Structure 1
Amino acid sequence: MKKVLITGANKSIGLETARQLMKEGYYVFLGCRNLKNGQDAIEKLNLEGLKDVEAVQIDITDQQSIKAARIEIGKKTTVLDALINNAGMSGGMPQTPLTANLDVMNTVFNTNLYGVVRVTQAFIDLLEKSSQPRIVNVSSGMGSLTLSSDPNFKYHQFKGGIYGPSKAALNMYTIALSYELRDKPFKVNAVDPGFTATDFNNHRGTGSVNDAAARIAKYVLIGEDGPTGKFISEEMNPVTGEIPW
């Protein structure tokens, strides 16, 4: 049975992604900052007949928490087939470039970028033991420099001076990571789940959690001929999915 770790997975898109991957035969390590929230989420999954899941406490802004999660998961498996870096934060709105609070910016980058780096580095040894390892960094079309430079970009009002830059930085990390792993069977992609109605945006989003999760799960399930080092947004490009960096 293939195994996947999903960060920020006790609710919304993360939880639905877990649900969909379990239905595809994956065992899910449900990463959550608050273990009780993760256990509550698992009770819901169990009531649906989904049993191949366990909650793991992990705060991606805390190196010791990540180390403890790595030890805990290492007791259960020697191989991790997929890592979904889903945990993230917006930093609140408004956040214009000239009024962006540097303390808030540091907090957002600590989660959206540094947290991804910490978790990826901590679990890369387990991923390297998989025959088809997959890493999905959950990004946003708001992190596209090309799209954001268009005056008519439809999400200018949300991009802000903090969230967009944090996702642009995450995208660059994704490119660098995929290049470093180019000679191994990894598939590493940045995936935008789309503007989804969740707590993250006070339910202002227009897309469904089901569709958002399916977009993420798709790039865990890709085969050897699947893409790597790509920026995917099926909301913005429903034909091929790929959008410019």
Structure 2
Amino acid sequence: MHIDILTLFPAMFDGVLNTSIMKRAQDMEAFSYQTVNFRDYTESKHLKVDDTPYGGGAGMVLSPQPIFDAVEHVQAQQQTNKQPRIILMCPQGEPHSQQKAEELAEEEHLIFLCGHYEGYDERIRTHLVTDELSIGDYVLTGGELGAMVVMDSVVRLLPGVLGNEASAPKDSFSTGLLEHPQYTKPRNYKGMEVPDVLLSGNHANIEKWRQQQSLKRTYERRPDLLANYPLTDEQKAWIKSLKNN
């Protein structure tokens, strides 16, 4: 996978993309990235990338010309006929999810558009981008932090990046439920014990306990996730028992 990041502040990405799992993913050549300052593509002699909105109003709006030209340039660099996913980070976008991360992890080329100021010229939305994503119902000063979040969620899913191929499929939201509780040594810490079932060696019972705990945690913390989850009769009975307690 190759990722291009169009931003006015390339330096913001240095720390995030060159440490921890993101650095390891690059070292193993699971993905590469390039930050592109789209100010370099403006035709304005004053290097402007924004202007006042038609019809009046507060703030400045990013102009289409620098964005379109920067995207055209990075697409040409890839020398492939396959169209990239062009992702606009925007609070009006589709809420990002684990399912979206899994979908994007199948792509070969992603382009992130990180805006600033009041917003984007609408022609960028309607004639250039393929996806609009939001990381929450709040407004940030720019799209950079959102792009970092989405990139991290995608890159960790690329083959071999996490080391253990069983890790990602059991993450919260990957199964449609929240992940079950986890424990490690010591068995007893200041009187707080690890559940006996995890020490039993009975893998069938352990798996049943984990499934029940996953359901319990989802019911208690994110019951909205259960609305469209295909519960078995046994799981429905388990949740009913939780409601009665």
Larger fraction in strand: 2
Instruction: Give TM-score, length-normalised by structure 1.
Output: 0.34
Structure whose alpha-carbon radius of gyration is higher: 2
Instruction: Give TM-score, length-normalised by structure 2.
Output: 0.34
